Structure 1
Amino acid sequence: MTPLAKLAVGTACFAVAFVLASLVEYWLHRLMHVSPRIGERHRDHHRRNEGQGVVWEFRDYVKGSCLVMFLLFFYSLAAGIGWFLGGLTYAAFSAYAHQLQHENPTKCFWMKMPVHYVHHKYGMWHHNFGLAVDWWDRVFGTYKPVEWLTEEELEQPKRGYLQLRWW
């Protein structure tokens, strides 16, 4: 395989892994809302309404998907590297986005409405399951728009994109 073909395979695998990771995250979050056994820790998260910190969220996401992240190495090195990096990148992005929505939701510029933030704020047990993206809520009909930008959000102190709990 030529170097360009390897790059194309790696890039395609990266993109597919990134999108697939977002889909898995969406469905696991939905599952946590219907399964008493699987959702026990998640219900505590709703009671506290806070993230664990970016690093600890990232650790949990990677721990939960570690085996799958190595699967494509059995196909080829290029596919394995792309797949692994796509999954790892989504885990990092999701961990950051999750913490950001708990601490500074107005900074989620890539979504019209920070779905995870409103999921918590309005006790939406059946809507807005996305953590980092809202694509799957829109695809599966669980996206529920609300006027979320209220005095509470507008009066929060101005902070940067990196001013949040990392540990």
Structure 2
Amino acid sequence: MSALVSLSTGFACFAVAFVLSSLVEYWLHRLMHVSPRIGERHRDHHRRNEGQGVIWEFRDYVRGSFVVMCLLFFYSWQAGVGWLLGGLCYAAFSAYAHQLQHENPTKCFWMKMPVHYVHHKYGMWEHNFGLAVDWWDHVFGTYKPVEWLTEDELRQPERGYLQLRWW
């Protein structure tokens, strides 16, 4: 029975960390749009309109949150592993989704509209802050649907889900 409790603790911590990571990412992205100090590097990202590559995005996400990813080890080993893996999995998913939306947004099948792509394409400084998911834009009223699939996107050569800049 205790193994089942340990396993369920790990899975619960994984799920909470994954969802909470998406919430933190959403609010940090919003903060980058209002804070001159925090948003300086982000404004450069908007000027260039490109990702750094999946590996470098992942590195930045983990570097900024690793201490928080390890906190639940003080509670229990199982909670710590679940929490750490949830945070790492979301960081990997978000790094991939961010790069994919810059290079091949039509492949973001899990969203009706690739919000980060639209955020850049239409210079939306007050809308569509999600990077990997659009949940929080819906929850906090910042989701702004637009007709995003234009001739530009349709003319892009067909590429696979893994054909993007990794570093």
TM-score range, shorter-chain basis?
over 0.9
What's the CA shift for 1:101?
Answer: 0.1
Give, in whole Å, the separation in 1 of the partners of 2:84 and 2:66: 9
Q: Secondary structure at the match of 1:98?
A: helix
Counterpart position of 1:42: 42
Unaligned runs of 5+ in 2: none
Counterpart position of 2:142: 142
Give, in whole Å, the separation in 1 of the partners of 2:52 and 2:30: 20
Give, in whole Å, the separation in 2 of the partners of 1:154 and 1:78: 46
Map of 1:14-163 to 2, 5 A cutoff? 14-163=14-163
Q: Verify: 1:7 aligned to 2:39, yes or no.
A: no
Give, in whole Å, the separation in 1 of the partners of 2:37 and 2:73: 33
TM-score, scaled to structure 2: 0.99
Give, in whole Å, the separation in 2 of the partners of 1:65 and 1:20: 12
Q: How large is the RMSD of aligned CA atoms in angstroms? A: 0.6
Q: Secondary structure at the match of 1:70?
A: helix
What's the CA shift for 1:24?
Answer: 0.1
Runs of 4+ off more than 3 Å = none
Give, in whole Å, the separation in 2 of the partners of 1:106 and 1:67: 35
How high is the sequence identity, in percent, across the aligned residues?
A: 86
Give, in whole Å, the separation in 1 of the partners of 2:99 and 2:74: 34
Q: Secondary structure at the match of 1:66?
A: helix
What's the CA shift for 1:96?
Answer: 0.1
What's the CA shift for 1:71?
Answer: 0.3
Q: Tell me which amino acid in the other structure corresponds to 1:165.
A: R
Unaligned runs of 5+ in 1: none
1:5-31 CA deviation, whole Å, 9 max, x = no partner? Answer: 100000000000000000000000000
Q: Secondary structure at the match of 1:35?
A: coil
1:117-154 CA deviation, whole Å, 9 max, x = no partner? Answer: 00000000000000000000000000000000000001
What's the CA shift for 1:36?
Answer: 0.2
